[in-house]
Amino acid sequence: MPIYERSGQRPYPSGVTIRLPTACVVVLVGPSGSGKSTWAESQFRPEQVVSSDRLRALVGEGPHDQKAGKDAFQVLDLVLERRVSRRLLTVVDTLGLDAARRTAYLRLARQHGMACHAVLFDTPAALCRERNRARDRPVPAKVLAEQIRAHGNTRAALAGEGFDAVHDAGPVVVVPAAMLAAPAAASRQEDHPMSLRFGLQVPSFTWAGDLRDGLAALAVDAEEAGFSSLWVMDHMLQIPQVGREWDPMLDSYTTLGFLAAVTKTCRLGALVTGVTYRNPAHLAKIVATLDVLSGGRVVCGLGAAWFEREHRVYGWDFPTRRDRLDLLEDALRLLPLMWGPGSPPFEGHRVRIPEAICYPRPVQARIPILVGGQGERRTLRLVAQYADACNLFGGPDTVRHKLGVLARHCAAASRALDDIEVTHLSTVLCAPDRSSLRDRTEAARAPGTTPEAFAESVNAGTVDDHIGRFRELAEAGVHTAIVSLADLATASAVADFAPVITAFRS
């Protein structure tokens, strides 16, 4: 059963839940009668299990037709290669006692960037023999004895073969790769808490009922749940990663003005403002106005823009990436001048302003500027030179790498990395428990998408899974985690995520 333990499953001696990543090859190891097929049937969907016995039945006279063994393994290898090339979770149900075959399975998994775990069945020999005798066509006693003997030497061999993990048979839970180590990280958070702020991104407006009332209620709920910031995308059309082009998409700064009126404490911003959509001086005026009307709660998110179709539809130029980055640098330099004293002239790469005039001034002495994007050569250098915050994505290792690059740019700019707030954006599906999570996943995933692929794409997990995941991000250097809730249109999405926020309050 993907993602969740199956209720009513048979107990296993280890009593330890096996956590597997969504993209994984699982190699079963044990003699005939050790319970491999029964275990696999109880833990996985039928299409996820590639069984040599079943393939013997397909190409021969039955599941125990040893004469069909060669053909069965040829089919098994073909099916396994096709599934792994699509990164589908796959369980290899054979004896697993042939070291060369185990090595081949491991090599195939690595070739496609998948994890490979072994599950060991240390069933007592007497029980294996008893089960074998009860079969319609038992394995010959001498053959079973040899399997049992070979299995006795397998555990030590598995430890040195390079598997990501070797497990004793037990109940299974399949989780996104980012949550594989969540239990240990969640324990660290409970024992030695770290602080982490949370922001909520609202990327779509497709919930049932009145859009205006729904957005107002969402903002109030988010603030009460402990979100410290609210963010919208700066797009005129819905982007393909989120929905359909004809789905409702509100103007970003008009929406932020509305959110300013219905909230009291949340910071507000666009994640991120495309610099190609507005004259930078006009953008400064818009942001300053929002800061005044929100009582000083604005963060100015900026990015180089990327959605070419949107530009074409609205009749805007779509410059080269280099020119867009030049325009981003101009905006990063100009905006503080517009919000500061006097009215100095400005001349940049692509923007020339004779007088930087903006009244009224913002409430904040300096409106924080956040740069989205993590290009290592220029974008992060612009962060080091001009920005107050950066927005990253990816796992803890990616965050550490990007912050290492940013630290070098900061050193070159004679600036401390600690001066820059590190934010992180990700999609989240959160539920109180695995039963609820299964139901949410099934309700939200598109037809034709496997539960594992969908879970990976939205970081589907329980509250404890997410506490562990965000603890790892905090340890990597993230200060604010901005989440896009995959089930935002459901009534309980914000409330279900609230315990995660509570776990990181200092």
Q: How far apart are the first and last CA of the chain?
A: 37
Distance CA 455, CA 446 (A): 11
One domain, residues 132 and 211: no
Q: How many structural domains comprise the chain?
A: 2
CATH number assigned to the domain comprising residue 189: 3.20.20.30
One domain, residues 161 and 201: no
Model pLDDT, residue 15: 60
Per-residue model confidence as pLDDT tens digits over 97-112: 999 999 999 999 999 9
Distance CA 321, CA 317 (A): 12
Enumerate residues 6+ apart whose C-beta is below 8 A from 286: 253, 278
One domain, residues 340 and 424: yes
Residue 74 lies in a domain: yes
Q: For residue 290, what are its two tokens? A: 């929002």
- How do strand 480-485 and strand 197-202 relate by DSSP bridges? parallel
CA distances from 414 to 239, 374, 400, 409, 477 (A): 38, 20, 20, 9, 20
Instruction: Classify residue 156 by burial, with Cβ atoms within 10 Å: 0-12, 13-18, 19+.
Output: exposed
pLDDT < 70: residue spans in the chain: 1-15, 65
Distance CA 339, CA 346 (A): 13
One domain, residues 115 and 253: no
Residue 362 lies in a domain: yes
Model pLDDT, residue 58: 86
One domain, residues 170 and 218: no
Query: What is the reported pTM?
Result: 0.92
One domain, residues 51 and 112: yes
One domain, residues 372 and 446: yes
Domain boundary among 135, 158, 175: 175
Per-residue model confidence as pLDDT tens digits over 291-344: 999 999 999 999 999 999 999 999 999 999 999 999 999 999 999 999 999 999
One domain, residues 341 and 254: yes
Distance CA 23, CA 33 (A): 28
Supply φ then ψ for residue 477, to 5 degrees. 120, 10
Domain residue limits at 495: 183-503
> Which DSSP letter does residue 46 get?
G
CATH number assigned to the domain comprising residue 137: 3.40.50.300
- How do strand 115-120 and strand 172-175 relate by DSSP bridges? unpaired
Q: For residue 145, what are its two tokens? A: 């004895």
Q: What is the SS3 assignment for 242?
A: coil
Q: For residue 420, what are its two tokens? A: 């820059």
Residue 427 lies in a domain: yes
One domain, residues 148 and 204: no
Distance CA 301, CA 486 (A): 22
Distance CA 248, CA 237 (A): 8
Domain boundary among 142, 175, 208: 175
Distance CA 427, CA 22 (A): 16
Residue 2 lies in a domain: no
Model pLDDT, residue 6: 36
Model pLDDT, residue 413: 97
Domain boundary among 152, 175, 198: 175
**Nearest residue to 122 (alpha-carbon basis) of 22, 45, 14, 204:** 14
Q: What is the SS3 assignment for 295?
A: coil
Residue 342 lies in a domain: yes
Residue type for 60, please?
G
Distance CA 264, CA 166 (A): 52
Distance CA 460, CA 438 (A): 9
Distance CA 201, CA 253 (A): 14
One domain, residues 391 and 456: yes
Residue 306 lies in a domain: yes
Residue 305 lies in a domain: yes
Distance CA 89, CA 2 (A): 9
**Nearest residue to 185 (alpha-carbon basis) of 464, 376, 489:** 464
One domain, residues 81 and 191: no
**Nearest residue to 468 (alpha-carbon basis) of 175, 181, 174:** 181
One domain, residues 379 and 322: yes
Distance CA 7, CA 435 (A): 9
Residue 253 lies in a domain: yes
